[in-house]
Amino acid sequence: MTPYDFKDPDTRRRRFRPIPVRMLVPNVITLLAICAGLTSIRLSIEGHMSLAVYAIVFAAALDGIDGRIARMIKGQSKFGAELDSLADFVNFGVAPGLMLYFWQLHELGNAGWIAAMVFAISGGLRLARFNATMDDPNKPAFAANFFTGVPAPAGAITVLLPIYVAFLGLGRWPVAMTAAYTLLIAFLMVSRLPVFSGKTKRMRVPPELVLPAFVAVVVFIALLIAYPWHVLSIGTVLYLLCLPLGYKSYRDQARALETAAPADGEISSPPSAPTMANLSEPPQDDDRPGRLH
């Protein structure tokens, strides 16, 4: 028998089964998000900055629903998880950094490019850390309600605050201030700051509040369309102001867990953020959730 004797059952080429359509739907949504992120880069190069911001917001909206749709229709896949992670890096790391560079940071020359590049790299590092530590068995149960560092979509929306302010007619920030703010958001993305996620919270709406909830969503979307810069500016400021509340909530729950632990210390204390040594270790389990955020 030759090494390539395909008549042998052990070396016969494996046939792949057809892929259900439900497995493709989340990936199509993710690809649409990538198209929106890449389009935002083109629009910013052409000077259509408002449309570029709309494209980033649209990409963030798609990123918020693709994972939920995948879980709803049971369309999770490892391929989808990797594609979603790549989309997050492009849409919320590379695109916002380039937008800020083409809009104002280029006035600083190499320093402006470094600020934009640091933000993009921070987005990639943040996503890599999330992928490497999402199955950490040492995390306490309450830690599932928190991100480590500002998530990439939120970082992309918040870092564009100087553009929102300019479109409000309040004038441009000094370019040095914009660069410093960009580096600040990049630092928050790769920091160890606990940020409330709310993903594990199963929110249920009482029957009598269903219609008001629909009305509230419609009103929010209408306000976002009619007054985009006001809504984005206020939302960004409120989000940044709420970051200390997430840290306080994490510390309170960590102290409560330490207080409830037995004197012999069998229950481990809440883990700190992963180190680079932890990230370099190969994962022990590749069965990751279908969608990453």
Q: Tens digit of pLDDT for each residue in 232-283?
A: 999 999 999 988 888 888 787 778 777 876 544 554 455 554 454 454 454 4
pTM for the predicted model, two decimal places: 0.77
What single-letter amino acid sits at 223? L
Fold that domain 21-131+141-199+211-258 belongs to in CATH: Four Helix Bundle (Hemerythrin (Met), subunit A) (1.20.120)
**If you search the block for the tokens 């390539």, which residue do you land on?**
4
Closest CA to 141 of 85, 200, 187: 200
3-state secondary structure of 109: coil
Closest CA to 63 of 39, 80, 40: 80
pLDDT of residue 68: 78
Q: Which helix (H) or strand (E) holds 233?
A: helix 228-260
Closest CA to 127 of 94, 160, 161: 94
For residue 226, give both structure tokens: 């009619």
pLDDT of residue 107: 92
Report the C-alpha gap between 25 and 86 in whole angstroms.
Answer: 17
For residue 44, give both structure tokens: 């910013």
- In the Cβ-directed half-sphere of 191, how many Cα atoms lie within 13 Å? 15
Q: What share of the chain is helix, strand, coil (3-state, %, to 5)?
A: 70, 0, 30
pLDDT tens profile 10-23: 545 555 567 666 77
Report the C-alpha gap between 108 and 126 in whole angstroms.
Answer: 26
Residues of the chain scoring pLDDT < 70: 1-17, 19-21, 135-138, 140-143, 198-203, 205, 261-293
For residue 144, give both structure tokens: 């599932």
User: In the chain, which ranges are E strands?
Assistant: 146-148, 194-196
Sign for the pseudo-dihedral over CA of 239, 243, 244, 250: positive
For residue 139, give both structure tokens: 């995390």
Contact assessment for residue 188 and residue 149, using Cβ atoms and an 8 Å cutoff: yes
**If you search the block for the tokens 């590092």, which residue do you land on?**
125
pLDDT of residue 163: 94
Length of the chain, please? 293
